[in-house]
Amino acid sequence: MPALSPNLAFGAGFAGDRVFYLAAPDVNELNNTGWQATGSWTVQ
C-alpha cells in the first residue's frame, strides 16, 4: 500500500504540536470510521 508523504510549510503563528486526523466512509456512506488520529508532528 503506498504511503502519503505531503510536503507542508507553515507560518510562525501555527507553531506547536499538531495532530493529523482522517475519516473513511464506505462507497455508499453507510459505514464510517469516524475521525481517527493517524499522525502527529511539531511545527517549529
The pLDDT score that the predictor gives to residue 14 is 86
The pLDDT score that the predictor gives to residue 38 is 93
Mean pLDDT by 10 residues, the chain (44 residues): 82 89 89 93 86
The pLDDT score that the predictor gives to residue 21 is 95
CA distances from 14 to 8, 33, 43 (A): 12, 28, 7
**Mean pLDDT score of the chain:** 88
The structure's pTM equals 0.53
The pLDDT score that the predictor gives to residue 10 is 80
